[in-house]
Structure 1
């Protein structure tokens, strides 16, 4: 083989190696995106049989927005950028909220919220054993969601409740803290963590905001729509933006974000629940518990 032939062969091998590396990178990126999306989508509505009871497992899903439960239909004008600001949409008239009793899931029922929300609520403060979180509310855009949270807070529903789910990008492709299951043990062992609610559901609203860092939103069961309950989550990373919108956004964290981001930096800080009946890691809990002491509104 001449010198030119050897050079041509080396060039060809180098080009093949480069193309192979590019294909590997594309496959890896595609797999990562698929993994992150599946964290929210799951496999549809998970119906689980436990001790003779049948109920839908509560997990995060990606879905198209549905009609809101309020008679008015305020549009979501707040943006969800790296540092989202709260710019509530203007009210279009009197708001009436509808809440429906739901007995087919494990629950702690303390009553139904009133139909007329307090539209003057601006702040939600969560005091935990790890620190305090203040949330600027989007009450004009999510009146029924805020009304539900406020009602449950007044009933002390959230007092001394453990946040049952904390996930990091290296484990699930997303980064968030989820709370609101009154029956959760958050010990990495309880198979039904994540299914508990307040025993009622309500419709979707303010669903056009992506889940950037600091966004607080309601979660639902399976791939359901209009099935919001007592559970809510806080986005801890802008990586969640790729999931898109479709969740009831109630507000944005204005104080305490540093503490929230420090709750877990990797899967080593989590309790992986092999007994999770949904099989989707929905109850990955923090090793150092996050316990809600009180939630107040003003």
Structure 2
């Protein structure tokens, strides 16, 4: 092999090594970004990954909304935007609505029955009475009738009464800012590895899943990249920073009163019991040092 050939071969090997190193760096960056995304939201129905935090209430994936029927039959069309700022536009359903709920027994649950198939389309407001004060939500019932129907049913059954909200995260801890509630089994102590797995023992489909998660948006959570696995858990977005993530979660309404209460729950990670497994997606949740407790939820 001539000197030029050897030089060319050396150059080629160097180029291959450089490309290999770049690929490794890109994979590492992708994994870091994925881990960061996966610290957002989850709720416990993807039983396949119980040990990994995908199921343990700590996962949201960057995803586009899949058109899984919310088990409600009418077609969607645009409707007026919510009355709070920043505004979002729900996709209203027209005509009669029928909801379908499927029993789910393979996860920890507190079963109080299945909601009826016909939602009350007249419900306009949901009030969450917390131990810190009341939070009022303007509902998007026309766009999310089956989600609102489920929440209303559970509230009437006192399912949420005296329940601790198991997850509170701030941007400095996980890159997003939200309060998550609805696990009847949660200890909300920042240590329990199964916090976020509990449900009401049934699941239902997706609807109104094209709303960006701006501050004040209230939405149902489900594990990982699951679709049609909504249950009793819901979250409230506490920052516009959450819009960095793709849409794809059932939005039920917007906070119209009490946002100051929610924003006062935690100024930063110093107000939280940080669970590293929450951040990595290995189970359990970061919780508020000062417990956030739902006294009751009412609708009108």
Name which of structure 1's ranges 60-69 and 126-135 shifts more when overlaid on structure 2.
60-69
Q: For the structure 1 residues 130 and 5, does the alpha-carbon distance in structure 2 shift closer, same or farther, using more than 3 Å as the test? A: farther
> Secondary structure of the equivalent of 1:216?
strand
CA pair 254-85 structure 1, distance change in 2 beyond 3 A: same
Bigger drift between 79-88 and 268-277 goes to: 79-88
Task: State which drifts further: 146-155 or 42-51.
Answer: 42-51
* Equivalent in the alignment of 1:191: 193
| 8 Å contact kept, 2:152–2:299 | yes
* SS of equivalent to 1:83: coil
Larger CA deviation: 40-49 vs 261-270: 40-49
**Which moves more between the two structures, 83-92 or 126-135?**
83-92
Evaluate the alpha carbon distance shift between residue 77 and residue 40 of structure 1 in structure 2; reply closer, same or farther with a 3 A threshold. farther
Query: Tell me, which stretches of 5 or more residues in structure 1 are unaligned?
Result: none
Is the CA contact 1:207–1:245 (under 8 Å) kept in the aligned structure 2?
yes
Q: Distance in 2 between matches of 1:260 and 1:53?
A: 25
Number of residue pairs the alignment of both structures matches: 298
The Cα of 1:60 is off from its aligned counterpart by 3.1
Per mean C-alpha deviation after superposition, the further-off stretch among 266-275 and 99-108 is: 266-275
Q: Secondary structure at the match of 2:55?
A: strand
Distance 1:250 1:30, change over 3 A: same
Post-superposition offset of 1:7: 36
1:19 Cα deviation (Å)?
22
Question: Per-residue deviation at 1:197?
Answer: 0.1
Distance 1:139 1:170, change over 3 A: same
Q: Is this contact kept in 2: 1:55–1:105, CA < 8 A? A: no
Structure 2 Cα separation of the partners of residues 294 and 186 of structure 1: 17
Q: Which segment drifts farther, 260-269 or 170-179? A: 260-269
User: CA contact under 8 A between 2:72 and 2:100: conserved in structure 1?
Assistant: no
Distance 1:294 1:86, change over 3 A: farther
CA distance 1:9–1:154, change in 2 (3 Å): same
SS in 2 for 1:147: helix
**Are 1:36 and 2:45 counterparts?**
no
> 1:129: how far off?
0.4
Deviations 1:148-187 (A, max 9, x none): 0000000000000000000000010000000000000001
How big is each residue's C-alpha offset from its partner over 1:20-50, in whole Å with a ceiling of 9 and x where there is no partner? Answer: 9999999999999666433238999965688
Aligned CA distance change for structure 1 residues 63 and 81 (closer, same or farther; 3 Å): farther
Deviates more, 1:103-112 or 1:47-56: 47-56
Specify whether residues 78 and 237 from structure 1 end up closer, same or farther in structure 2 by C-alpha distance, changes over 3 A only: farther
Give deviations 1:250-287, integer Å, cap 9, x for gaps.
00000000110111111111112356698446510000
Identify if the C-alpha distance between structure 1 residues 29 and 253 changes in structure 2 by more than 3 Å, giving closer, same or farther: farther
Query: In structure 2, how many angstroms separate the alpha carbons of the residues matched to 1:277 and 1:167?
Result: 10
Distance 1:99 1:152 in 2: 13
- CA separation in 1, counterparts of 2:35 and 2:188? 24
Unpaired segments ≥5 residues, structure 2: none
Over 3 Å counting, the alpha-carbon distance change for 1:25 and 1:137 in structure 2 is farther
Task: State the Cα distance separating 1:78 from its structure 2 match.
Answer: 5.9
1:214 touches 1:257 (CA, 8 Å); kept in 2? Answer: yes
What SS does the corresponding residue of 2:8 show, helix, strand or coil? Answer: helix
Which stretch of structure 1 is more off in the superposition, 264-273 or 245-254? 264-273
Contact persistence 1:270–1:284 (CA under 8 A):
yes
Name the stretch that deviates more: 14-23 or 51-60: 14-23
TM superposition shift of 1:217: 0.2
Cα distance in 2 between the residues matched to 1:99 and 1:55: 20
Evaluate the alpha carbon distance shift between residue 96 and residue 188 of structure 1 in structure 2; reply closer, same or farther with a 3 A threshold: same
Aligned to 1:117: 119
Q: Which residue of 2 aligns with 1:215?
A: 217
Decide whether aligned partners of structure 1 residues 267 and 139 sit closer, same or farther in structure 2, where only a CA change above 3 A counts.
Answer: same
Deviates more, 1:204-213 or 1:58-67: 58-67
- Determine the C-alpha separation between the residues in 2 that align with 1:140 and 1:33: 35
